[in-house]
Amino acid sequence: MRVHLCLAHMSGNEMKFIQEAFDTNWVVPLGPNVNAFEADLEAFVEHDRHVVALASGTAALHLALVGLGVTCGDEVICQSMTFSASANPIVYQGATPVFVDSEPDTWNMDPTLLERAIRDRVAIMGRKPKAIIPVHLYGMPARMDDIMAIARHYAIPVVEDAAEGLGSRYCDHEVGTFGDYGIMSFNGNKMITTSGGGALICPSAEQKQRTMFLATQAREPVPYYLHKEIGYNYRMSNICAGIGRGQMTILRDHLAWHRHLCDRYVELLGDIDGITVHTNPDNRFESNFWLNTILVDPVKTGGVDHEQLRLALEAANIECRPLWKPMHTQPVFSGAPAYVNGVSEQLFGQGLCLPSGPCVTDDDVTRIASIIKGLVK
C-alpha cells in the first residue's frame, strides 16, 4: 500500500455534525456548525482572538489584506520560502510582493533581511510596505519576537500565514496570534481538514464583524440588497464546518502523532552523515511538525542527493516531495523585488518532505529510514 505524504484522517465524529446540518436543513454557507467551529478555534488559539471560518486559507489571507487597506500600487513584504498562496492575494489586490529570504534555523523570514528590505523600500518608494507576511513553514514557528519588534518599530501590520502551523507554539504562544491577523488552512492535507477551508484570526470583535461582512458580498443591513462596497463570497459552508467540528475533537491526537513521528525520524536518521532532520532550534519553538523534513548534503552522503532519495522512496511506493520552491525563483513573480541571502535556494536544493501525520505508522518510518540508510552508507 502506498505511503502518502500527509493524508486526511477522520475522528469518526464528523458525520454526526454533517447529519445534524442535513436534519435541520442548514445546507448553506452559515449556520450552527460554522458558529460552533469558530468557537472551537477561538478556544484553541486563546489570547482573546476572534475567528472567522472561510472557504480557504487563501481567501483568509485575501480578506486580511483587504482589511488592512492594501490596494493598487502598494508593496507587501512576503516570505519567499513558501507556497504560492502566501503571495497570490497580494497580486489580487493589485499590489506588488517584495520577497524576503529565510534564516537557516527556522527556514522562515530572516529578521535582519526584513529590516534591510523595509529600509530599502522606504528609500526607493518614499513610503513603507503596507504589510508583512511571515510564514510558519512546515509548522515551524518563525522568529516572531524579532519580526514583531521590527514591525512595531516601523509601524507596519503583520499577517501571519499559519496555514501549516495549527497547534505550533512560540514562547508558549499559539502561532497566528502574534500579528494583526493570522490565517489558517483546512485543506485536505493540512493538520486538520474541512475538505477545503480556512479561517482568519482577527484582533477584535469589530474586525471579525467586518470580515464576515466582506465575506458575504458586503451586503448592507437593510431588507433589500444594498451594496456600498465590493464584497466576496468567501464564507465556509455549514457542511464543511461540520467536518471541522469533528476534526477539532482529534486535533490534540494529531499533534501528538506528528511530533511522535518527528522523534522517530530523529532517532532513526539523526546520526547519518549528511542527513539533517529539521527540528526545533531551541525550547522556545514547538513545531507541530505538519510535515517532517530533511536536508541532504551530497558532499557528506558520498554524492547521494535529495532527488535520488525521493526516487528510491517513490520506487518503494512512498510519497516524498521537494521543499517549496522559493517565490523569488518562480517565473510568475520574476518581476518582484527580492531580498535574498541564498538560504531558501539552498534549502530547495537539498530538502525533502517525508510522510507525516496520523496515517503514517511507526513501521512506515522504519521502512523509510532503512531505504535511506541503504543508499547513504
Ligand X SMILES: *Cc1c(COP(=O)(O)O)cnc(C)c1O
Q: Which is nearer to ligand X, 56 or 301 (CB)?
A: 56
Q: How far is CA 251 from the centre of its chain?
A: 16
The verdict on 356 binding ligand X (CB under 6 A) reads no
Q: Which of 135, 140, 214, 304 binds ligand X (CB under 6 A)?
A: 135
The verdict on 33 binding ligand X (CB under 6 A) reads no
The verdict on 326 binding ligand X (CB under 6 A) reads no
The verdict on 139 binding ligand X (CB under 6 A) reads no
DSSP 141-200: PP-HHHHHHHHHHTT--BEEE-TT-TT-EETTEETTSSSSEEEEE--TTSSS-SSS-EEE
Q: Which residue is nearest to ligand X (CB)?
A: 57
User: How far apart are alpha carbons 140 and 323 in whole angstroms?
Assistant: 14
CB of 163 to ligand X, least distance (A): 4
Q: What 3-state DSSP class applies to 285?
A: strand
Torsion of CA 117, 281, 264, 354, to 10 degrees: 10
The verdict on 344 binding ligand X (CB under 6 A) reads no
Q: Which is nearer to ligand X, 40 or 164 (CB)?
A: 164
User: How far apart are alpha carbons 85 and 97 in whole angstroms?
Assistant: 12
Using alpha carbons, list the distances in angstroms from residue 244 to 15, 257, 321: 11, 19, 26
The verdict on 34 binding ligand X (CB under 6 A) reads no
Specify whether the CB–CB gap between 313 and 320 falls below 8 A.
yes
How many CA atoms are closer than 13 Å to the CA of 70, on its beta-carbon side?
31
Q: Per-residue x/- mask for ligand X, residues 170 to 209, rule CB under 6 A?
A: ---------------x-x----------x-----------
CB of 302 to ligand X, least distance (A): 33
CB of 82 to ligand X, least distance (A): 5
The verdict on 360 binding ligand X (CB under 6 A) reads no
Q: Per-residue x/- mask for ligand X, residues 77 to 116, rule CB under 6 A?
A: -----xx-xx------------------------------
Q: What 3-state DSSP class applies to 133?
A: strand
Q: Which is nearer to ligand X, 83 or 285 (CB)?
A: 83
Q: Which of 33, 56, 102, 292 binds ligand X (CB under 6 A)?
A: 56
Q: Which residues contact 9 (CB under 8 A, 6 or more apart)?
A: 250, 254, 357, 358, 359
User: How far apart are alpha carbons 371 and 172 in whole angstroms?
Assistant: 37
User: With contacts defined by CB under 6 A, how many residues of the chain interact with ligand X?
Assistant: 14
Specify whether the CB–CB gap between 14 and 168 falls below 8 A.
no
User: How far apart are alpha carbons 280 and 270 in whole angstroms?
Assistant: 14
The verdict on 11 binding ligand X (CB under 6 A) reads no
Q: Which positions from 145 through 174 interact with ligand X, judged by CB under 6 A?
A: 161, 163-164
CB of 173 to ligand X, least distance (A): 19
Binding residues for ligand X (CB under 6 A): 56-58, 82-83, 85-86, 135, 161, 163-164, 185, 187, 198
